[in-house]
Structure 1
Amino acid sequence: MAQPVIRLAGIRKSYNIGTEVETEILHGIDLDIAAGEFVALIGPSGSGKSTLLNIVGLLERATAGRIEIDGIDSATQDDAGLTRLRNRSIGFVFQFHHLLPAFSALENAMMPGIIAEGRATDAHEAAARELLRRVGLEAHSHKKPNQLSGGQQQRVAIARALLLGPRLILADEPTGNLDTHTADEIFALMREVNRERGSACLIVTHDPRLAERCDRAVTMIDGRLRAD
């Protein structure tokens, strides 16, 4: 079988380690996601979903366990290596878009390339323009985030996440701040891109309608995966 894009084995996460209030949040998570899979992560608030997403996205380190992204063991990477791996292989889409207010939609979409190269390049601009066209914002590329609707801002965030062609897309409640119609449009766009590009996608959602439209859903309760 092909190597999974993401492989988690025995992932544990604790806070306040070595103190009287040490608390384990994740209790041995095992999860594989293959290229082209679109997986929903569901469960009640406080169950550990966002913590797991941060660990998968290499924003936090696990206390124990093994994380492989595209065949690379994250434990073998120093901080600089993790940054390179995160920037090259992972695209992030959040509930709140985290667009930079001083920059245009085009510049925000180019940001991963600017970070990777230390400067804007013609190739990054061409890729960003094509992605904005792809998400229906070609005519709005010059606008600042405060000139765009919530759905349009989320489309810019999707274009930004896709700029470098990441193998893994992580989305934390990407439609949670949108009305139902716009949420459905954003989900359909992410699903379409997932199918076209063959990227793996892990989406945290509280919306059962969206979870039902994913390839599979995993349920997290009290820091454990209960169903797949």
Structure 2
Amino acid sequence: MNAPVIDLTGITKTYGIGTPVETEVLHGIDLRLAEGEFAALIGPSGSGKSTLLNLIGLLERPTSGRLSIGGRDTATLNEAEITQLRGRSIGFVFQFHHLLPAFSAMENVMMPTIIARGAADDEVEATALQLLDAVGLKAHAHKKPGELSGGQQQRVAIARALALKPRLILADEPTGNLDTHTADDIFALLREFNRQTNCACLIVTHDPRLAARCDRIVRLVDGQIADDLPTA
């Protein structure tokens, strides 16, 4: 089996600790995702999917349990190290693309590398252009997000997520606000990059058609993994 990119053991997450509204949202999550795996995370609203994705994406810290990314125990890392690990190892794609409206498509794709390196150069620009070409938007490289369709904006977001060649792609309802045809195209792009780069992908989706096209389906119910099964 390929090496685990994410490894969660006994993960819990509690909000409002010590207050009358203290609530445990995740209850002892065990989950591993290996290089090259493409998994769907499904479950009803309120089941804890977004919280789990935020923890894996290092946007929040678990209350207890062990969370490793690429073999590194995140509990041993300070905030600067967490930020660096997140920036270099994880690519994010959200339902709403969160592109910077004042910047062109190419500049948006370059942004993670600029943040990581502190500056842009010809190589960074060339990589951004290659990624936009790969998602079919090379001709729109200098357009701003407001000049692009919803599907095109999501393609830019995917290119941006891949800018630093992350080991892990986290996608939270990436096709949730798109029509069926465009959603299929976006999913196919993610799948293609997964195969080309061997990155691990964890996709939150409410679309059973898309979930069935993943390698495995992890179903979260009431903050616990109800089942974790291969699709084939």
Distance in 1 (alpha carbons) for counterparts of 2:101 and 2:176? 21
Partner of 1:147: 147
Q: 1:124 deviation in Å? A: 1.4
Query: C-alpha root-mean-square deviation of aligned residues, in Å?
Result: 0.7
> Which residue is 1:10 aligned to?
10
1:77-226 → structure 2 map (5 Å cutoff): 77-226=77-226
Amino acid at match of 2:205: T
Distance in structure 2 (CA, Å) of the matches to 1:127 and 1:76:
33
Query: Counterparts of 1:48 and 1:101 in 2: how far apart (Å)?
Result: 30
Residues 27-63 of structure 1: per-residue CA shift (max 9 Å, x gap):
0000000000000000000100000000000000100
Q: How much does 1:128 deviate?
A: 0.6
Q: Can you list the C-alpha shifts for 1:61-83, whole angstroms capped at 9, x where unaligned? A: 10001111111111111010000
Counterpart in 2 of 1:51?
51
Q: Which residue of 1 aligns with 2:65?
A: 65
Equivalent residue of 1:103, what SS?
A: coil
Moved over 2 A (4+): none
- So what's the TM-score if we normalise by structure 1? 0.99
What SS is found at the alignment partner of 1:96?
coil
Residue matched to 1:75: 75
Name the aligned partner's letter for residue 26 of structure 1: L
**1:19 offset after TM fit, Å?**
1.3
CA distance in 1, matches of 2:60, 2:124: 28
For 1:28 and 1:101, locate their aligned partners in 2 and report how far apart those are by CA, in whole Å. 40
Structure 1 CA distance, aligned partners of 2:65 and 2:138? 43
Q: Deviations over 1:88-118 (max 9, x none)?
A: 0000000000000000000000010011011
- Which string of whole-angstrom CA distances, capped at 9 and with x for unpartnered residues, describes residues 192-217 of structure 1? 11011100000000000000000000
TM-score (norm 2): 0.97
Aligned equivalents of 1:73, 1:222: Cα separation in 2:
26
TM-aligned CA deviation for residue 18 of structure 1 = 1.0
Q: What's the % identity of the aligned pairs?
A: 72
Q: Which secondary structure state, in structure 2, belongs to the residue aligned with residue 5 of structure 1?
A: strand
Q: Secondary structure at the match of 1:46?
A: coil
Cα separation, 2, equivalents of 1:86 and 1:141 = 26
Q: Which moved more, 1:1-10 or 1:122-131?
A: 1-10
User: Aligned residue pairs: how many?
Assistant: 228
Q: CA deviation at 1:2?
A: 3.9
**Secondary structure, aligned partner of 2:4:** coil
**C-alpha displacement at 1:121, in angstroms?**
2.2
Cα separation, 1, equivalents of 2:39 and 2:124: 29
User: How far apart are residue 21 of structure 1 and its match?
Assistant: 1.5
